[in-house]
Every structure is written in C-alpha cells, then in structure tokens.
C-alpha cells in the first residue's frame, strides 16, 4: 500500500506523512488539503495513528531506510534536528527568502525550522501543553472557582469525585503521562522546568523538588478512572465534553475535539493554564519537513508557501486549536481560548517564560525524551514511589545522553 501511494504520486502531488487522525485533527488537515487542491496540488495521504507521533516517526524511519521518503512529513522539534543531521532533507531557502519567513517566524521556532542557516521546515502552528480543559457545568457543580494553584486544583478534583464523575479524563499512554509531567514540573517553577527538562541538570533531576513533582503525579493518578490504560487522548476529551469526566490536562489540540463537537469555549468548556503555570508556556510546533526527493520539488515548495500563508495560518489554527506560527496574523477569527493562547505565547516569549515541551519533543532529543517517558510512565503506573522515580530519572537520562 505504501509502495502504491508513492509510485502513483505525480510530480504535482505531495505525499504527506502525519498523525492527525482524530476528528478535530482531520478537520484541520482538511483545511490544508483543500487549500492545496485549489492550487492544483494533489494529496497522497499517509496517516499513522497515534497521538504525539511516535508511530509516525517509526513509519518514517522505515520509509527512509527503504530509500522511499515521503515528500512532506509532520514533525516535531528535535526530530527535525536529528533528520537534518542525517543530511536527507530538502532546502526551502528560496521560498523562505521570497516570502520573508525570517522576519515573521518566532526565534523559538526558527531554532527547529533551520539547519546551519538554511530553512528545512515550514511551521504550521504553535501548540502548548500546559492547559487544563474543564467541562463548565462540572466545574459549576463543584461550587468552586477556576483553580489558580495546586491546592485549589486538588480541591476541584476532590469535589468532582464527590459529585460522582471521573475527575480527570486521561489516557494511559506514555506521551500523555509525559504531557501531564510537562505541566507538573512547570508548576514547580520556571527555573525548575528549565534546569531539569532543558538543561538536564542531574542534581535537580534527582532532587527534592523532583520527588515533589512525582508526588503530584501520583496525586493526579488517583483521580483517573479504572479504564484509563491505553485510552486515546481524544476519547479522554470526549469524556470531558459529555461530562463523564470533569477535566483533561492536555495540549490545545484537545480544543479541536471540543470545537468539532460543536462546543463553545466559555459556555460549554473552560480553558485555563495548568494552575501554577500562568504566564509561562511549554510549546510545541508542528512543522512540515520536506525530504530531498527526486520528484516533486515544485510541489514541496508550493506546499511550504501554502502552509506559511497568513490567511491559511489563521484558518487552519482556528480549527486545530493551536495558534499561528507567525507573529503577524490577526487574532480576529480566533475564539477566546485561541486569543488567550496567542497573547500567552507573545507574553511568555518576551518575558523569558517560553519553554520547549519535553513531552512533545521540543526540550531534549528523542533519545532523552524517551528515557524520561519510561520513568514517568512506570511511576504513573505504580512501579516506583516518588523517591525511586527521581533516582531512576537520573539513571535513565544519564544512560540516554
């Protein structure tokens, strides 16, 4: 099937490998497909299900090893750097220069979109992971206000439990556990996040504060339902939108699911920053990376230009739940959560409070990320107590470096 799609791809087509298979993600992808179709660029779809993209990255490795790279690939952060270092990516300088990307793409994104000064990827969005999505009436039923710190969050979770719903909608998959971990670590301080998740300081990784982070993870674990293991993230979003769960701690792709179900921010659901992380942002950006292929270079350039078009960036991100990857796009078409996301991103950027998401490949290379995943998940599933988890984290990170 893979061979079929690539062998039938024409010069004016793009074969796109991605993991946008949930309802909200597919709706956003359609915005892109339709935009390209209007320009006469055909689309060969290569979806690989699995939130966070681990499955997609495994499929990509197999394709490249077989000498059959797709023309365009959805990719995150350090994965882009890894592939660039292998020398197998195309060069987008021509279109980037002609369209002035240098001036409009935030520095934090350019770090990943450029390799040795050359553009190798077109960023389509900026997501962030330190969000909480709450069912508005489930929150109202608690009689409590939107939580602003850890203690208030726990109080809301307790009250939801008393009200007979699952307080925390969650799917037990390593990347989802790690997404919670992004927020929990950040809630213990910007410096703590930076020192541990970016600088990989061993003392901090194994220190008292990390023990506290794991204790918080265990507390969160106590609010998930018995069937959480292996559940896809979008099913956890569905639990929140139909009120069987009170909240989900997840990146803003969750909003794509709520919107797709016709839910309205502020009326049906509430978006807040994970309590204790207000003003800071852990971001990830989906970028389209173009491989150095024999055929289809023109289509690649056209796709890159289409992805970076400001009108498209607004239309796409309104549906996806993310915010534009360029600084010059109006927020007029975005809902209240999207407008907050755009303002938070700009503020965090100018206040030195913008950090790459560990869980979504923007703080450390994949090898280290996977080592952190293993420990976080083992602890979340009760294999380690908090103290052991902190020491295992040091061991895991040390051996992955």
Here the tokens at position 255 are 């909003």
Q: Tell me the C-alpha distance between 299 and 158, whole Å.
A: 53
The CB-of-344 to ligand GAL minimum distance in angstroms stands at: 17
Cβ proximity of 18 and 29 under 8 Å = yes
Nearest-CA neighbor of 345 among 359, 356, 335? 356
Q: How far is the CB of 283 from ligand GAL (least distance, A)?
A: 10
Question: Which CB sits closer to ligand GAL, 127 or 379?
Answer: 127
Other C-beta atoms closer than 10 Å to the C-beta of 264 total 12
Query: How many CB atoms are closer than 10 A to CB 162?
Result: 11
Nearer to ligand GAL, 170 or 360 (CB): 360
The binding site for ligand GAL (CB under 6 A) comprises 19-20, 25, 51-53, 76, 127, 233, 253, 284, 286, 360
Chain centre distance of CA 299: 26
188 or 323: CB nearest ligand GAL: 323
When the beta carbons of 56 and 188 are compared against ligand GAL, the nearer one is: 56
CB of 24 to ligand GAL, least distance (A): 9
Q: What angle do CA 134, 140, 142 make, to 5 degrees?
A: 95
Taking a C-beta distance cutoff of 8 angstroms, is the pair 300, 71 a contact?
A: yes
Contact 113, 123 (CB under 8 A): yes
Q: State the nearest-atom distance from the C-beta of 401 to ligand GAL, in Å.
A: 23
For residues 127 and 263, which CB has a smaller minimum distance to ligand GAL in the complex?
127
Q: Which is nearer to ligand GAL, 15 or 182 (CB)?
A: 182
The least CB distance from residue 252 to ligand GAL, in Å, is 9
What are the distances in angstroms from CA 232 to CA 49, 68, 239?
A: 10, 30, 11
Which residue, among 53, 56, 110, 61, has the nearest Cα to 83 in the 3D structure?
61
**Beta carbon of residue 10, minimum distance to ligand GAL (angstroms, whole number):** 28
* Nearest-angstrom CA–CA distance, 97 and 335: 32
Least distance between ligand GAL and beta carbon 51 (Å): 3
Please tell me whether residue 227 adopts helix, strand or coil conformation: coil
Name the helix (H) or strand (E) containing 93: helix 93-99
Q: Which residue is nearest to ligand GAL (CB)?
A: 51
Asked whether the beta carbons of 216 and 184 are under 8 A apart, the reply is yes
Query: Nearest approach, Cβ of 261 to ligand GAL (angstroms)?
Result: 16
Cα–Cα distance measured from residue 317 to residue 214, given in angstroms and rounded to the nearest whole number: 33
Question: Residue 43 or residue 175: which is nearer to ligand GAL going by CB?
Answer: 175
- Of 25 and 177, nearer to ligand GAL (C-beta) is 25
Partners of 44 in the beta sheet? Answer: 15
């Amino acid at each position: 099937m893979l061979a079929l799609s690539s062998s039938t791809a024409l010069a004016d087509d793009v074969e796109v490998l991605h993991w946008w298979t949930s309802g909200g993600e597919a709706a956003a992808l359609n915005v892109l497909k339709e935009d390209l179709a209007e320009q006469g660029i055909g689309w060969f779809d290569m979806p690989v299900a699995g939130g966070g993209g681990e499955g997609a990255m495994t499929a990509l490795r197999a394709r490249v090893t077989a000498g059959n790279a797709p023309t365009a690939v959805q990719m995150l952060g350090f994965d882009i750097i890894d592939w660039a270092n292998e020398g197998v990516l195309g060069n987008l300088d021509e279109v980037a220069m002609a369209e002035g990307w240098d001036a409009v793409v935030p520095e934090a994104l350019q770090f990943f979109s450029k390799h040795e000064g050359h553009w190798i990827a077109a960023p389509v969005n900026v997501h962030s992971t330190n969000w909480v999505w709450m069912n508005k009436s489930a929150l109202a039923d608690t009689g409590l206000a939107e939580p602003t710190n850890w203690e208030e969050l726990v109080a809301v979770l307790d009250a939801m439990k008393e009200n007979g719903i699952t307080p925390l909608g969650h799917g037990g998959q390593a990347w989802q556990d790690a997404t919670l971990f992004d927020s929990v670590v950040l809630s213990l301080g910007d410096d703590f996040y930076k020192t541990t998740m970016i600088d990989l300081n061993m003392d901090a990784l194994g220190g008292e504060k990390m023990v506290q982070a794991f204790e918080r993870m265990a507390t969160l674990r106590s609010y998930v339902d018995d069937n959480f293991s292996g559940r896809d993230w979008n099913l956890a979003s569905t639990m929140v939108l139909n009120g069987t769960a009170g909240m989900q701690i997840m990146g803003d792709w969750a909003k794509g699911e709520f919107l797709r179900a016709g839910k309205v921010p502020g009326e049906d659901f509430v978006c807040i920053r994970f309590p204790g992380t207000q003003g800071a942002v852990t971001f990830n950006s989906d970028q389209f990376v173009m491989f150095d292929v024999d055929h289809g270079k023109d289509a690649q350039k056209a796709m890159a230009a289409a992805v970076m078009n400001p009108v498209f960036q607004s239309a796409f991100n309104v549906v996806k739940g993310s915010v534009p990857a360029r600084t010059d796009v109006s927020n007029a078409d975005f809902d209240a959560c999207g407008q907050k996301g755009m303002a938070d991103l700009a503020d965090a950027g100018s206040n030195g409070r913008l950090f790459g998401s560990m869980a979504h490949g923007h703080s450390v290379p994949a090898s280290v990320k996977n080592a952190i995943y293993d420990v976080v998940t083992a602890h979340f599933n009760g294999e380690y107590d908090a103290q052991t988890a902190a020491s295992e984290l040091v061991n895991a990170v040390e051996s992955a470096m």
